[in-house]
Chains A and B, each alone.
Chain A
Amino acid sequence: ETGVTQSPTHLIKTRGQQVTLRCSSQSGHNTVSWYQQALGQGPQFIFQYYREEENGRGNFPPRFSGLQFPNYSSELNVNALELDDSALYLCATGTRGTGELFFGEGSRLTVL
């Protein structure tokens, strides 16, 4: 176990709705990143947070947004859900300046 916990594990939404996914960081870690993993693909980087500010963003539209809290936990928010947003959303935490990132078990989002 990595100590990175995500909730909820599964959820179903309909097109146009909004979703919030949550992540609790492993103790001692100060960065949190979010990845989207479509079926049969490798994870794709969405963004990273450090010191409560966005610190790098992948090729995702602005309707994907996030927060990092003082206790290093994090949220991923997705507005105006589309069918293609159906995927496993992974949170990864680490320590700035070290390469290793540790993943949670993910939140499986289905958009109908």
Chain B
Amino acid sequence: GQQLNQSPQSMFIQEGEDVSMNCTSSSIFNTWLWYKQEPGEGPVLLIALYKAGELTSNGRLTAQFGITRKDSFLNISASIPSDVGIYFCAGQNNQGGKLIFGQGTELSVKP
């Protein structure tokens, strides 16, 4: 079945630094989504990408849908303490259909 490899598994950074994480797949997806999950809560949608090559921003977050449709990355600029959490990528083939999630990147930000 389809699998997503998300890296890095964890990151420890200083407040103000930029962050980059990515997700690769063994097969193509038609949609990529990025979620953030904090302890005791459900995943919160950050960015949705629908077209190969698409670059989309949401405040300090920028995500790209890879040209091959097998990868995506998420950048966070000028990190702040409230960015702490686990970031998940998810691929989707049928819009509104099942999501296949990566294993998450745990982000820690030191003030």
Contacts and interface: CB of A to CB of B under 8 A. Distances in A.
Interface of A: 2, 4, 6, 31, 33, 35, 41-45, 48, 56, 58-59, 90, 92, 94-106
Given A42-B88, A42-B104, A99-B31, A104 B96 contact: no
B66 interface: no
A42 B101 contact: yes
B111 interface: no
A90 to B, nearest CB: 5
Classify chain B: how many residues form its interface, as a range: 20 to 34
Interface stretch (B12-20, B39-47, B55-63, B70-78): B39-47
6 contacts: A2-B44, A42-B6, A42-B102, A43-B101, A45-B100, A97-B96
B82 interface: no
B80 to A, nearest CB: 21
B44 A103 contact: yes
Given A41-B103, A45-B98, A100 B45 contact: yes
Interface of B: 1, 4, 6, 31, 33, 35, 40-45, 48, 50, 88, 90, 92, 95-104
B42 to A, nearest CB: 4
Given A42-B103, A105-B40, A56 B97 contact: yes
Given A33-B98, A45-B98, A58-B98, A99 B43 contact: no
> Taking each of B40, B42, B45, which has the highest tally of chain A beta carbons within 10 Å of its own beta carbon?
B42
A68 B43 CA distance: 22
Nearest to A29: B96
Given A90-B43, A105-B40, A98 B96 contact: yes
Given A41-B103, A42-B88, A42-B104, A101 B96 contact: yes
A56 B92 CA distance: 13
B92 A103 contact: no
Given A33-B98, A56-B97, A99 B48 contact: yes
Given A31-B96, A35-B99, A102-B45, 13 more contacts: A2-B42, A2-B44, A45-B100, A94-B96, A97-B95, A97-B96, A99-B31, A99-B50, A101-B33, A103-B35, A103-B44, A104-B42, A106-B42
